[in-house]
A and B are shown apart, each in its own frame.
Chain A
Amino acid sequence: MKVSEELHLLLTMLCRATDLPGPSVELDVRPSGARDPWQHWWQLVDEHQLTAFLGGRPDLLEAYSVPAQLSDALIAAHVRGGHEGLFRHWELVRVCNKLASRAPVIALKGAAISYSLYPLLADRAMSDLDLLLIDRTQLATARVALLSDGYRTAGEELPEHHHAAPLSDSIAELTIELHTDLTHPALPEGALDELIRRRVEWPSVPGLTMLDPIGRLVHHAIHAVHDPIDSPLLRNLFEVAWMAQKFTLYERRDLAAFTEKYGLTDQVGHALALAGELFGAPVLLPLPEEGPIEYWCKQRLEWTDSHGDADWWSRFRRELAERHLKEQRSESSVPLLRAGAEGIRRAASSRISSFFSRAQEIEPVPLQTTPVGDGLLAWDPASGEVHFLSALSAAIWCAAEEEHDPKKLEVLLDADGVTPEITRAALETLLQSGLVRTRERL
């Protein structure tokens, strides 16, 4: 695998922090060509969600002469991880205890790994809590209990999927996913039952139950490479490596026996093989034949690691991370856009709207709105964007609810004294802002 010097440095640092042996000598290490290698290193750390972990290790940052500005940003991420971890823990224990008598849950993925692998909850960022229930009846019970507790459905229900539609509590700023299986498609028959039987209680946290070490590694290894493109792949593989490194001889034998019994050797082996290559972790299982999983995982790491010719996706993420770093703001900051009179004036002098020539209709995008003076404050829950519409653009946006034909809309508003040019320009701005969308004429 080709890796840049910056990625190699990051791998080396992660290994040093956890006593992993180190990256394979067979890695093809090359200069990335980045103008600022440390900036490139930061982008890798940020993209793979390793900021909180590294920020908790100031001695390591000092040993590798990480520049002060980056060290400070990493330490701040670790501190924020602590703030986040404290509340997430409180909520997880509360939910576990609430459900204990009716539908006991087993903590999965980050909710389990942050306790069982990392020394501190501040070390691992996490966006949601994944909880396993033993069957769909108990899932329904848990769902009702959480809905009565402030959680709301946030997303679509996928038939036969291994987890139900996410439940989100906007006050607690947490999302919970209730699972009835670990993977999609489901694990081979009997495997899940055995893993549930083997579950363990986490001694220091009453009410918290998780899979045993074998179950945690099996699940995380499969999960780590399941979506190599849109996941923090490097962190996931690092965690697989760290877990494998901690395995006792007995656990190694147990893992081999379990995966062989259920035909999971290859499925688990992909992540272990990659973790071995990147971090020098023990592979534990026979090496699987290289296939599409390895290809895409390596592509992902090479894409995000090549500075000069990254694809649009990694360029976008990189630019976002750079901007956030410069502005010292978090990922969750609300992007703002003003589509008021000024925007309309600007658009009036720009090119003629393309949708008129294609004989398309328009319709407003569903938004939550509240009047502010004679304007409209609008929020798009899907994108999280906020818009302020001037009285004129608000009127046009509202009128588009009833009249979908742009030409007829111009005529309609012309009667109210709004010239067709202004209407067209306003529609163009609304279209560019994502507040109206086009559709084929019905």
Chain B
Amino acid sequence: MNPSLAKTRIAPRLRGLCAAAALLGAAVAAPASAKPPLKIELTLQGHRFSPSTIQVPSGTPVELSIRNLDPMPEEFDSTALKIEQVIPGGMSATVRLRPLAPGRFPFMGEYHADTAQGVVISR
């Protein structure tokens, strides 16, 4: 088969790819969310979250600012919230919660799951 035939077959695919890439770029550049996130502060001390129960309005993005006062790292882990984030000892981290449907969303510190437990309640 001659190469020009192969080329004509590629061209539409390439054009499709370019269009998809452009769409993706536009989506990334678009402002993330209209609502400003609600900021909530948490501390982690003695492998316990405080507060360990967090009430949030549903459908609003939330930013948790977590200060790890322990000398050891901890991993903020929640399959319900789909978050996995390491917070080194003595440091702070920002955990962004996407707008939630009403419900209970448990989270934990994976490295000390026996004590580091908490829940986000969205209503």
Decide whether A and B assemble into one complex.
Answer: no
